[in-house]
Structure 1
């Protein structure tokens, strides 16, 4: 168990949080959607090289900053150079500019204006603005959590007889302690049907269950209500605000516990299989027509 970081609420940047040890919801997604081998490559392999941050990712980070911490926007997000990178001189100018502003999000003026229009839409909304008032943004929380055995109990180390535990973490977008947690989601379609598909595809019930359990394991869960504040990325920047019922969160918890258990078992055995070590019958999708 890696305890290189203090437990509980830790003041850190978004970048520090993602670089910190601990199993997060993103970890659960990799092992659930791909394989233990993919998990090893992303989180264990010492030679793994991170992919360059995409424009979509950087715009998303800028939106979170502008919505949750607008007072830091001018320090964390800046306008890039007005020319492209085609010539050698332009490439050199860009390299020097990025080095000078290392750690900052560099966007075009067009993208920054786009971010501001989304923020204006959120703060003009009669409910969204109230949800984002009176709390604290981007809180990082670390705790030690038992590993479930999949049968209603917890995993036990057969050599020591001790309960197996691991360092886990979560980072809430916006939390009003004792009241509610707001999770921001940018989307192509913020309608109930559209966001429902996104919720299923991106396993948001797993996220809510995981966050609740991480906070509960550290004694910091106060039965807050949970709201997904989703906003469309194109005009008219329509918003939708939704919550999940207890049944869906419970199903998310089952999946989270399954994925958490698998990660821990692979780590302890140092065994990282891919999609299968036996020849299996291929299951074709039900919708296939020949």
Structure 2
């Protein structure tokens, strides 16, 4: 089945499945293309082993409870605080599983942790203000890249069009290493790519792209919460990389050739 072509626009109610199945290129696909263009094509056709998928995505559970509590209630269920190797525990878990449906199960400890993380976010005054401000959660933006005319898409965690802001929620195991994660996971490219999409649709430059970062590890008895924006040098580097990747994408789309050989170098310690 051919991917659906969704025309440029701002979609508040586009479901996640349609968004990910559409033909427009996304930032995560550009990440694959950046490594090797063939990987983007591979990702579109390689089979997934449903039995080996991780049952719990802590990042998604935190995201849902922070920004979409209704989705958390619909998609997640917190198990009873009871060991399964006792008669009473077995009974409680049996009753729990009878009403489970297709929800993702969190253990009692996992559910407690995710709730504490949300409470930690809401204790941060600026983070709480952003979470509670009027805006669109998981809205989708489709646009034509100004240089290549290729169809692009992004799905900000929260858009606040009245303020000209986009908010992205990230989880990290170590807050002190988040700056490194920005480079490793190309969050600076995400900043540029999403900002370009916002500007193309709304006809005005974005005023702020913010990362709401929450730690999944305790420090001094608390789950740290920070708000970050990138400096101009990081934004410029991200825009350069995004434009270069879009040019490569356009060339592959035009030629139908998706190179797949990657070059490896010896690590510094081996030299």
Task: Please state which band the TM-score falls in when normalised by the shorter chain.
Answer: 0.7 to 0.9
Partner in structure 1 of residue 158 of structure 2: 174
Instruction: Output one character per residue of 1:73-102: Cα deviation in whole Å (capped at 9) or x when no partner.
Output: 222222469898xxxxxxxxx9xx79x834
Q: Higher helix proportion, which one?
A: 2
Q: What TM-score, normalized by structure 2, do the two folds share? A: 0.81
Instruction: Output one character per residue of 1:155-200: Cα deviation in whole Å (capped at 9) or x when no partner.
Output: xxxxxxxxxx221100111122142222111001223xx2111111
Q: Aligned match of 2:256 in 267, 270, 285?
A: 270
Distance 1:143 1:245, change over 3 A: same
The 3-state SS of whatever aligns with 1:132 is helix
Query: Which consecutive unaligned segments of at least 5 residues does structure 1 have?
Result: 85-93, 149-164
Q: Aligned match of 1:241 in 227, 250, 268?
A: 227
Work out the CA distance in 2 between the residues paired with 1:4 and 1:40: 17
**Count of matched residue positions in the alignment of Structure 1 and Structure 2:** 252
Note the C-alpha offset of 1:252: 0.5
Query: Which consecutive unaligned segments of at least 5 residues does structure 2 have?
Result: 85-93
Partner in structure 2 of residue 68 of structure 1: 67
Instruction: Output one character per residue of 1:181-228: Cα deviation in whole Å (capped at 9) or x when no partner.
Output: 22111001223xx21111111111100000011222223545221211
Work out the CA distance in 2 between the residues paired with 1:73 and 1:188: 21
Note the C-alpha offset of 1:242: 1.2
Is the CA contact 1:212–1:221 (under 8 Å) kept in the aligned structure 2?
no
Q: What TM-score, normalized by structure 1, do the two folds share? A: 0.76
RMSD value, Cα? 2.9
The 3-state SS of whatever aligns with 1:143 is strand
After TM superposition, list the pairs within 5 Å mapping 1:89-108 onto structure 2: 101-102=101-102, 104-108=103-107
Note the C-alpha offset of 1:26: 0.3
Is the CA contact 2:136–2:158 (under 8 Å) kept in the aligned structure 1?
yes
After TM superposition, list the pairs within 5 Å mapping 1:49-198 onto structure 2: 49-52=47-50, 53-56=53-56, 58-79=57-78, 101-102=101-102, 104-134=103-133, 135-148=135-148, 165-179=149-163, 180-191=165-176, 194-198=177-181
